[in-house]
Structure 1
Amino acid sequence: MKPLSLALASLVVVVAACSKDPPPATQTTAAQPETETKTATNVEPKSATPAIPAVAADAPDAELGKPAPDFTLKDLDGKETKLSSFKGKVVVLEWFNPGCPFVNKSHTKGTLKEAAAKHAKSGVVWLAINSGAAGKQGAGLETNKEAVKKYAMANPVLLDEGGEVGRKYNATNTPHMFVVDANGTLVYRGAIDNSPDGEGETPTGGKLISYVDEAVAAVTAGKPVATAETKAYGCSVKYATK
């Protein structure tokens, strides 16, 4: 009996030893998914990094010292005008609304009167842009054609009824002026002058200053624009309601 008891005892020890071996292996296997999960968790923030440019895309398109946003708009004759086609020349952009009293005063009595014609003599391109939506003040083909005759405008008037270009430049008023240098860089934005009445009769500080004239003169001479930004005055741009 003793030999049999010893044999049974040995068998129990062997079986017990075998039953103890698997758990460590099982624990090791279970630990692997945890490691993978942690690794995957650590990788997720990295994969989110490309989303950063999407935030930057919401920043204003037109920024001083940077390339002026390109655009293509049709003039009153249906001819397309592309900003980048004038690279190599200084370009003035004038946000325009013939129904706005400030625009009317400036074009008949103030700084805008014959301004485009004066600058054209030195090779400056002057583009008037109307971002008013259809049916709003100063909008429409015929209204703008009448204004061209009234103000004796020789420069193109471009229609932006959808307001895409106006919003690119964050044009808020009429008139709102922008100057682009020969390299296509935006160098000035703001008011046409320092006389918020539009007529040039009550300039701030007593002396009438055309900020556009100063900006054009500076870039033509290869100098930085001393006053690169001012607050525009006038009527609000009559954008389409979103």
Structure 2
Amino acid sequence: MPSRRDAIADDLRDRIATGRIKPGDRLPSEAHLAAQYMVSTPTLRNALAVLQAEGLVEKVHGKGNFVRRPFRKITYVGGGRTSGTYIADLAPLSVTVRTTGVRAHGHLTTLLKMPTGSPLTEILCLGHEGERPHSLARIYVPCDLVPAAVLRESLPYEAVVMRLMELRPPLAEVREEISVRLPTPEEASTLRISSALTILAVTRQTADTAGRVVEAALLVLPGDRADAVFTTPYVIDERAAEG
């Protein structure tokens, strides 16, 4: 038998799915819903937290709980086939770009295989759908390859990608690490998502023909608005085929 929390979440989920409560609608106040379902306010909030974690409901501070409008999904194309294109299908989004100079520290020293304090160019890309944050990418490049001054903040995302492709040496390998996890407090705040909503986190290292890591990208894609596609080409051994 489902708990009261799950029963309330199921009922509200059904009302959303059948259109009785529409995207953008504000839910009744928590006090009103608690009285309607004859439960305590903490139990009602736990039920709402289930729907928030599923991405169906969002709580706007000072305004209440709203049924979320569905986000347009984008696709991360993996497998190293997209040299320089980190997220495909960006056409529906506007992307703001901020470029700054930083120093390698912590996990960046491991990703880029360089000493602590080495100068880097950080390219922060925040995707928006309308006024709503959609996706987050941090790209790091050694300053001797791409000085921060080369990538002016006024450049659009597509121009930044093209500039990176022009300046860096020929690539030999792309390594991607994919994980599903909860967002950090900073990521949840930047993307305006629930701390209970899982994200697709992609760590991408790009190396040149000499084996040097020339770029590292940290991508954060909320799970309710992203897909990932990987294609692995097979190389046929001609000698085995002839045999």
Tell me which interval the TM-score lies in, with the shorter structure as reference length.
Answer: under 0.3
Greater relative contact order structure (CA < 8 Å, 6+ sep): 1
Q: Choose 1 or 2 for highest CA Rg.
A: 1
User: TM-score, structure 2 length as denominator?
Assistant: 0.21
Larger % of strand: which?
2
The TM-score with structure 1 as length reference comes to: 0.21
